[in-house]
A and B are shown apart, each in its own frame.
Chain A
């Protein structure tokens, strides 16, 4: 390598490369997890990318203090905080009527029948999740939607496994009851 190259290389410290690689890998591995979590935490689809970006910016600033094995938990907590912050501005508690109106608009497209059904299911789920307390909602997101074990969820949420189990039980019961109530009312 020529002496001239060495004049360029000091711009690229090994630590910088390592840090950039870690950031890049984290975005690659966890972006979808963060994005999906934000959606279920009530962030509208149109805003989820922006809030996910904010989440990763927070992660970037705290990177040196986050253990590699705890990245996912940190990102989830950061996403939860970002979603709470964003909710004050974005989150509208859509009624089913409003959601239906949105879906009607989507239905004008001839090839989206299946997608509309999926969207309807998601809107329904989100409306039920929104009725849960924050404590119950995050447990459902981690255990039922992201399919983490109760131990993993307990670690991320810093609560005992037994607490996760009981919250999950209550959350599922609430969701099932809500689902039954809504489907009955739609008949």
Chain B
């Protein structure tokens, strides 16, 4: 490049050196892909909130971290689903109360510590599920599955971006497994915990996807159009494209979309 104008060369150098101002975008991308943000964000040097992830990276081989995270995630999802199973007695509705433990490093599991079905979910990764009986006389066919954040100062203090990403990640993960019912339950938990969250738009979009992929095509299309009208500049329009088209009929989504296997939920 010796023939380049010196000013142009300087401009190229400046362009090569440009970086995102934070690692948030990368972390959000990982979350949108249903991946834990902790490890990769650590490699991006995003900062202290993921220090636990950074320690994991140095101590574990990549595949080990992947297995641990996915197993942990899977165990939690499985546990939530187990808890969310309809109760035997119609008069008792299970209402899992989700309370987040204080911010701690990502859990590191040995083989012996892998979650056991006999263990309470709280052992799995610090997410505590407590069942509470509903008011007497509840006859709703569907149990009250909305996980509700247990109120308290520690819960409020833990509402960090990382917690929020993890909450959305649980929704995305369930959706990626084509389990709309579970995704909806996780989204309700997110809504309750982060009513004004930084990932609000992501939550709205994934809510539309849940509706669409569970067969509520008209509702998804209407919500998608409303969303794009409200945020005309949004890049989410790409993601919502299947629901903005007219090639889907109620109960059957667009051809390019994998519908949930529990669409009847």
Q: Hey, which bits of chain A sit against chain B, CB under 8 A?
A: 1-2, 4-5, 7-9, 11-12, 16-17, 20-21, 23-25, 27-28, 31-32, 35-36, 39-40, 45, 47-54, 56-58, 60, 82, 85-86, 89-90, 118, 121-122, 124-125, 144-147, 172, 175-176, 179-180, 183
Contact = CB atoms under 8 A, between A and B. Distances in A.
B5 interface: yes
Contacts of A121: 10-11, 14
A89 B30 contact: no
Contact of B15 (A40, A60, A172): A40
Contacts of A118: 14, 17
B11 A39 contact: no
A56 B239 CA distance: 11
A149 to B, nearest CB: 13
A20 B25 contact: no
B200 interface: no
Contacts, number: 155
Interface of B: 1, 3-5, 7-8, 10-12, 14-21, 24-26, 28-30, 32-35, 39-40, 43-44, 62-63, 66-67, 70-71, 74-75, 77-78, 111, 114-118, 177, 232-236, 238-239
B77 to A, nearest CB: 7
Contacts of A56: 29, 32-33
B8 A17 contact: no
Contact of A48 (B20, B67, B236): B20
B interface majority secondary structure: helix
A123 B39 CA distance: 33
A176 B26 contact: no
Contacts of B19: 32
B40 A28 contact: yes
Contact of A90 (B17, B62, B111, B233): B233
A40 B159 CA distance: 35
Given A5-B116, A8-B74, A11-B74, A36 B40 contact: no
B5 A179 contact: yes
Contact of A125 (B3, B14, B71, B236): B14
Contacts of A1: 111, 114
A8 B114 contact: yes
A124 B235 CA distance: 26
B114 A5 contact: yes
B29 A4 contact: no
